[in-house]
Amino acid sequence: MAKRDENPEDQDYKARSVALRLLARREHSRHELALKLRQRKIEPALINTVLDEYEDEGWLDDHRFADVFARQRMDAGYGPLRILADLQQRGVNFSPGCLSETTEEQWLASAVRLRERRFGLARLDDDLKEKLRQARFLAGRGFSHSQVERALEARAPEDE
């Protein structure tokens, strides 16, 4: 007697229901969804068929995922380099429009806000150790070298 999971109709139902349940919770990239279905021991050919159908229906869209993901990461205080790296890990190899629409000044303002929230905007001229610590933090959050440098130069209005 064959196990229930070996029945092709059950596999098809399982693939579709799991994918739909995951998409109902949040947007996923095609790569993420395929990985999660493979972890559930679903056949690769069936995974591709289901994901192709879901893309045709508009339920799965890497461009929509990338835009939503990037905006959430921007709101959480991440910089452009980290967001792009995180997208690549999720199988998205293009830059969503919201990243390219964000100006250098907006990225700088985000880095300054993050620094102020985490460390304050005290002068760092005489404290190299603290300056390096803050620079590592901002770089780890995905801000470019120039954005980090300029954010470290920012002062509170009363210090100017």
In the chain, where the domains are located: 4-60, 77-159
pTM: 0.84
* Residue 1 pLDDT grade (very low, low, confident, very high; cuts 50, 70, 90): very low
Q: For residue 31, what is the enclosing H or E element?
A: helix 30-39
d(CA 123, CA 145): 19
Predicted pLDDT of residue 2: 44
4-60 CATH choice from 1.10.10.10, 1.10.3470.10, 3.20.20.120, 1.10.340.30: 1.10.10.10
| Gyration radius of the chain's alpha carbons | 22
- The CA distance from 19 to 21, in Å, is 5
Q: Rounded distance, CA 107 to CA 149, Å?
A: 12
Q: Is the pLDDT of residue 105 over 80?
A: yes
